[in-house]
Chain A
Amino acid sequence: MVTYKSLSLTLGVHVNTAKQMLYHYLEHKRKESSPQLHATYLVTGKFVDNGQTCHRVSIVREDQLEDFKSKMSLIVSVHVYSVQKALLKDSGPLYSVDYDAVKDHLQNCSKYSAIQCPGAVPVSSLERQQALNAPNPPQSEPGNSGTNRETNTTSKAHPRPQKGIMGMFSKKSAVKSQNTSEEVKPEQKDEPAVVDSAKNKPAAKANPMMNFFGSQTAKKSVKAVKEEADQTSERKSPQPCEKSDGAAVQHQKDPRSKTKRAEDEDSEEDKMDKKKRRRIKKPEPDSSDEEVVPDSPPPQEALTRERSPKKETETVQPSNSHSGVKVRKRRRVLKSRTYLDADGCMVTEKGFESESYSESEEDFRAPKAAQREPFKAKANPGSKEDDKKSQKKAPASSNKGGKQASIMGFFQKK
């Protein structure tokens, strides 16, 4: 079935030419007496109905054409509307053909019409953004600040691997207050494992993120995430990758309006579920204690830092306890962080932050850290069990290696 409109849009001709083409085709085929073709016509004109005149525009079948024309008092135009093989009982399909044709050529639907309007000029999206930016500054800020942060963190990524440990200490002061600093350890051996996870993370993250970004910003954020993933994974430094990932995505999340929080919580819950599954599975195949201890770093509020930093801590802590050498290390501690978000509201977040500590204090801190774990509201039963286990373990270990003076020391000196 072909209507004049779909023909004109497909061939890119003026609508009147399309109508004439249809007529010509019809005549031609009829002369050749090839398979039956049916046509519908459009009739417009003046119609008097119960004393009131109205302008009537109608689609009529060919067999009703003459009848219709006789009823009208003044005929303004008649032309072929559509040509089809089957006899149409209902005019519904005509609409669907036109609808499809228009949908395919939505942007230039009026290009081939007989009327051109000089005033109808589409304002470019850039100008529209500028117009919208004036009353809606909070909306534009995340976009801007997000890009700023990305460039900042990527520039910082370069000097960091070079400076090594010292880079970490200076980084903390350099980082903006809004940046969530993650635990960064220059473990080279963790790189291969973490690179994989980092690569997986942006890909996996793109999908949940797509859920709560709008169409335009989704492309931006996904692009940003993917670009960084590409860049940083090439450079083989996983830390900047997840850090800037986390920062950018985290930041674009924070100033989101409260309506998005619901979706945030949804995706957080999804992640929690995934993690829950992961954590429950872990003790089952490996029932060793070592696996329990790495699970103690508790679930965190910020989504972004979870996976690879956790893996890092898991792998790092066992190595720490084994080494026995007093080394000044960085460690995750639960701290409250207060900052002003884009809407000008103060937000207080409890998050894990890196803090340097020395080995000797570790034993005292370990039980406290373990106790703090249940605070995390989204803790799941699996983790609670682990926490309890680790709680039990920690005091036990501290008692063994503690510096508590034994009462026998009093007698031994004699």
Chain B
Amino acid sequence: MIIQLGSGDLSYDPGFQADEAEASFFVNKNLTGFTILCKQLLQVIFCDACGKTMFSDVSAQKNGPSLLCSPASEEQGPTFERISLPYELYSDRYRVGQRSFSRQYAHIYAARLMQMRPLLAERAQQKWGSNVLIKKLCDLEPGEQCCIVGTLFKRMELQPSILKEISEEHNLLPQPARAKYISEADELILEDELQRIKLEGKFDKDKCVTGSVVAIYGAEKNDGKFTVEDFCMADLPLQTPRPALSSDRFVLLASGLGLGGHNADSMLGLQLLVDMVTGQLGDTGEQSGAAAISRVLLAGNLLSQNTQDKDASTKAKYLTKKTQAGSVEAIRVLDELLLQLVASVPVDVMPGQYDPTNYTLPQQPLHPCMFPLSSAYNTLQLVSNPFEASIDGVRFLGTSGQNVCDIQRYSSMDSHLEILEETLQLRHLAPTAPDTLGCYPFYQKDPFILEECPHVYFSGNAPTFESKLIKGPDGQEVLLVTIPEFSSTQTACLVNLRTLQCEPICFTAFSADKDEENEMNISH
């Protein structure tokens, strides 16, 4: 944006503190009536990276005359053009073409270990010295300090096992679903290609999950167990540095829209979200800020859990033939909603746990035949879960939250953000697949291993919004975002691509009681 300054000299030298100066400039006749505070003006021109440029600030800067006035006769109203950014989809590895389920699942573990062993060996050498002995389990000798690399297996008593359920000698009733399946008596075992060995020692076994590939330093004792002194994970992969952007661009992340559910309150919030993004809501400032939202990403659970017919799988077909599935109406509502969005902004739609696509990870994109109205627009992108893409050079990677929820069930970690960080350090999106998380039986390679470090790493359908910027050992910078569930929190997230910051947006309305209204003020 070019602003011709009027008379006035603005001196800028490195020591200039923007906060201290306040001046008003009368800009030339093209932008009459604009009075801008000096600090904000400098931020815009010189791209002060130190300042936090939240969406509110951006919108406030570009504010025009208030709309609390009578309509001017001639002018139509300003129209801003939606910012368009280069976009590249990298989700090919998550597309499963021909599916064959005749293979065993053990091949995934073999592929995983094979791929991660060299990475872990390198990390082990970095951590414990380059002359550390890295041995295979079959070559272990008791009493020798060495490092072993393998896949962790956590044996949990409470883990639901189908074999136990149907076994007659145990006479067990099916176990009720629990929030957590960990207990004190869990054991950790390390497996490599040929053997396995029990682990003991100082490490937090509750934090570990089955399927993570780690390197362990210690010694084998005489009783056949391995004493752990230290362990390390594969840590973050290398990252291509993101380009320096000149202006603020945003990407809106939302998940858990929950259409077809019984929560009618969220529909108004959803409508407000759509209106804001399409530029109908707010003053000119807000609208021009919304024009900087280059993309919308819907991370799963577009349909509510209520649309899942519990009877569909158990009832006989002849009884359910005439009844329409609950998801049909919900998909129609979703199509209309998407139509409003795609007419104005490119949208990426990821499927989630309750959406009509396959259950196992990686979930394939929703079929365009379900969206007859909105698939007419080429701005609608139906993508897989997990999702990886590069928006204006900033790499996004994330899932709809199933992997995080699964780890939450089988470990002591509760915070979705903490789990996200853990998966990043393990360099694996879903270590619990295929053990407790449904997964396709890959055999050649494991597509969930992170090969390149993303700039934004997210997971959807979290209970609350959380975000954190972490730094990796090789200078990587990753923004972790847990996208909250919109149907319960009415909150979405805006990621600023220039500063790699994330800001929540919440939408509220009023309802009958004043107390209820206060409750809707979401506390993060």
Contacts and interface: CB of A to CB of B under 8 A. Distances in A.
A121 B78 CA distance: 21
B382 to A, nearest CB: 14
A92 B282 contact: no
A128 B290 CA distance: 30
Given A17-B71, A99-B271, A90 B512 contact: yes
A120 B379 CA distance: 6
Given A44-B282, A115-B287, A17 B77 contact: yes
B70 interface: yes
A117 interface: yes
Given A17-B71, A123-B376, A115 B278 contact: yes
A30 to B, nearest CB: 13
A109 B340 contact: yes
Contacts of A60: 510
Contacts of B280: 4-5, 8, 15, 112-114
Contacts of A393: none
A79 B276 CA distance: 13
B290 A115 contact: yes
A175 interface: no
Contacts of B56: 44-46, 53, 55, 74, 76
B522 interface: yes
A114 B346 CA distance: 16
A49 interface: yes
A95 interface: yes
B343 A120 contact: yes
Nearest to A51: B524
Contact of B336 (A80, A89, A103): A103
Given A53-B54, A77-B283, A20 B67 contact: yes
B100 interface: no
Contacts of B522: 49, 54
B67 A115 contact: no
B345 interface: yes
A206 B78 CA distance: 51
Contacts of B512: 89-90
Contacts of A24: 69-71
A37 interface: no
B323 to A, nearest CB: 14
Contacts of A80: 67-68
Contacts of A74: 56-57, 60
A94 B509 contact: yes
Nearest to B270: A95
A80 B68 CA distance: 7
A54 B336 CA distance: 28
Interface string B372-407: 010111110000000000000000000000000000
A207 interface: no
B267 A95 contact: yes
B84 interface: yes
B351 interface: no
A60 B285 CA distance: 20
B268 interface: yes
B272 interface: yes
Interface string A114-132: 1111111111110010000
Contact of A109 (B285, B288, B339): B339
B279 interface: yes
B343 A109 contact: yes
A52 B52 CA distance: 13
Interface residues of B, number: 76
Nearest to B379: A120
Contact of B506 (A56, A79, A113, A119): A56
A287 to B, nearest CB: 39
B80 A123 contact: no
A14 B345 contact: no
Contacts of B378: 119-121, 123
Contacts of A21: 71
A193 interface: no
Contact of A59 (B278, B286, B336, B508): B508
A236 B78 CA distance: 64
A143 to B, nearest CB: 16
Given A57-B506, A99-B271, A120-B343, A16 B59 contact: no
Contact of A77 (B285, B377, B507): B285
B283 A78 contact: yes
A79 B524 contact: no
A42 B281 contact: yes
Given A20-B71, A91-B510, A106-B336, A114 B54 contact: no
Given A76-B63, A120-B342, A115 B509 contact: no
B151 interface: no
B67 A77 contact: yes
A110 interface: yes
Interface string A1-29: 00011001000011111011101100100
A144 interface: no
Contacts of B491: 54
A56 B68 contact: no
Interface string B326-344: 0000000000100110111
Contacts of B13: none
A114 B78 contact: yes
Interface in A71-98: 74, 76-80, 88-92, 94-95, 98
B34 to A, nearest CB: 16
Interface string A55-71: 11111110010000000
A57 B267 contact: no
B80 A117 contact: no
B300 interface: no
B71 A98 contact: no
Nearest to B340: A109
A80 B282 CA distance: 9
B336 A50 contact: no
A165 interface: no
A161 B255 CA distance: 67
A61 B285 CA distance: 22
B291 interface: yes
A210 interface: no
A125 B375 CA distance: 10
Interface string A222-254: 000000000000000000000000000000000
A55 B79 contact: no
B82 A61 contact: no
Interface string B36-48: 0000000000000
B344 to A, nearest CB: 5
Nearest to A128: B376
Interface string B85-108: 000000000000000000000000
Contact of A20 (B70, B264, B377): B70
A44 B69 CA distance: 17
B268 A92 contact: yes
Contacts of A102: 336, 340
B408 interface: no
Interface in B226-283: 264-265, 267-268, 271-272, 275-276, 278-283
12 contacts: A16-B77, A20-B71, A20-B72, A24-B70, A45-B56, A49-B524, A52-B504, A54-B505, A55-B56, A114-B279, A114-B284, A117-B344
Given A4-B280, A88-B510, A91-B509, 14 more contacts: A16-B284, A50-B523, A76-B285, A79-B68, A79-B282, A94-B268, A95-B264, A113-B280, A114-B80, A115-B81, A116-B79, A120-B344, A121-B378, A122-B377
Cβ-closest 3 pairs across A and B: A115-B279, A77-B283, A14-B77
